Chain A
């Protein structure tokens, strides 16, 4: 239960962090941000990195800025930053609603938004938000900065398009128009546990009619994704309990649930229906 030995590096600039990562990634070097997933993995010796590059001392990675229709979240922004609404409007509300479901309060003090995306746990709330809203993951190595669309980013459980020598410098989320409705629902067996299933919803409501719907599910498959067929059910209609039930049914039919010791596939499919329905119901309550 004690981490294996490693060499510790604490750069204070982004350039020096990238230089270290370029040099050390081939030597099993890893980036340390909040450490709330990496350090337990090291305690179990599931991870035994030879080098840790601690990015916590890089002041330039602590920004949350909203401009030109985009919310940019720097690599060292903690989950706890979202307890308050970081931006006016529906996006700030959605993020503050979601954050209370992430682990427990002391974990949220240390863990980071971008670290969650780098780790890509199937039950990560922020990964679901990124997939649902169509986030852009900004990754930098020594020679270039790459912008990766969320739909190209997630590859599997704990597996992403990020290369070993790339550092996520920020994640960008599109601001939601003021007439947007949002809903989030998560099912876990105890407060703070990993989600067995969750859903995030956004749509615009113009003169009582739904447009631009997005339905994302997480915790059900190896990585979060949008359910286009279920979304199509909503477009052009007015919110109603029968409409929501139809969309939830489409969602349950569309998922290919993971089966593990926590839940059978059929159970997760039932949960998919339930979390999508409840997230939709919440979208009209706010």
Chain B
């Protein structure tokens, strides 16, 4: 029953050869087997969005799929955003706009927002707010998160 399967996860361009039980979620495998604990687990049933990662460049809940399903797919997590000590413009914008308080939801929001902005750099604020409603934050009241993503979108468009 507890037989493990060998799989390879491709996370942030690095390949992780791991053994997983089929019942392990992708989130658990990323954290426990690959040691990438930036992806957070909040509710573990798809409501809070803390575990949002990019799967083939689309934001998905990593607690709502099994690790075996993600073998050899392109996975991106929050650890892949910064360039060494230099923060990604979206991360920098979260700092500048006070979009972080306790920080638990932040990795999920960052990956959700990256997934949205890469696909639709000119997204309207109305649509952005609707899409950001996917994830929960219990500290900021969301205003500063919207502000940070909007500012980052502008910065990413102009490349400044």
Tell me the A residues contacting B by CB distance below 8 Å: 1-8, 10, 35-36, 39-40, 42-44, 52, 54, 56, 80, 100, 104-107, 109-110, 190-192
Please, which residues of chain A bring their CB within 8 A of the CB of B130? Answer: 100, 191
Residue B116 lies at the interface, judged by CB distance under 8 Å to chain A: yes
Partner of A109, one of B21, B24, B59: B59
**Residue pair A106, B22 in contact (C-beta under 8 Å):** no
User: How many residues on B have C-beta within 8 angstroms of the other chain's C-beta atoms?
Assistant: 33
If A35-B65, A104-B134, A105-B134 touch, whether A4 touches B23 (CB-CB below 8 Å) is yes
A43 B44 Cβ-Cβ under 8 A: yes
Structural contact, B28 and A2, CB atoms closer than 8 A: yes
Chain A residues positioned under 8 Å from B22 (CB to CB): 5-8, 52
Task: Please give, as numbers and ranges, the residues of chain A lying within 8 Å of B134 by CB-CB distance.
Answer: 104-107, 192
The chain A residue with its CB closest to the CB of B56 is A109
Q: Does B102 contact A (CB under 8 A)?
A: no
A8 near B45 (CB under 8 angstroms)? no
Q: Say yes or no: B23 contacts A1, CB within 8 Å.
A: no
B17 at the interface (CB under 8 A from A): no
Please determine whether B116 and A5 come into contact, CB atoms closer than 8 angstroms. no
Selected from B45, B55, B59, B61, the residue in CB contact (under 8 A) with A1 is B45
Q: Which residue of A lies closest to B134 (CB)?
A: A104
Return the chain A residue nearest B1 by Cβ.
A5
* B5 near A106: Cβ-Cβ < 8 Å: no
Closest residue to B111 on the A side, CB-wise? A106
Contacts A104-B49, A109-B60 hold; do A191 and B44 have CB atoms under 8 A apart?
Answer: no
Contact call A43/B45, Cβ cutoff below 8 A: yes
B63 adjacent to chain A (CB < 8 Å):
yes
Residue ID in chain A nearest B21 by CB atoms: A5
Residue of B at shortest CB range from A7? B22
Residues of A within 8 A of B58 (CB): 80, 106, 109
Not counting A5-B21, A192-B134, a sample of 15 additional A-B residue pairs whose C-beta atoms are within 8 angstroms of each other reads A5-B23, A7-B1, A8-B5, A8-B66, A39-B25, A43-B44, A104-B131, A105-B112, A106-B61, A106-B134, A107-B46, A109-B60, A110-B61, A110-B65, A190-B133
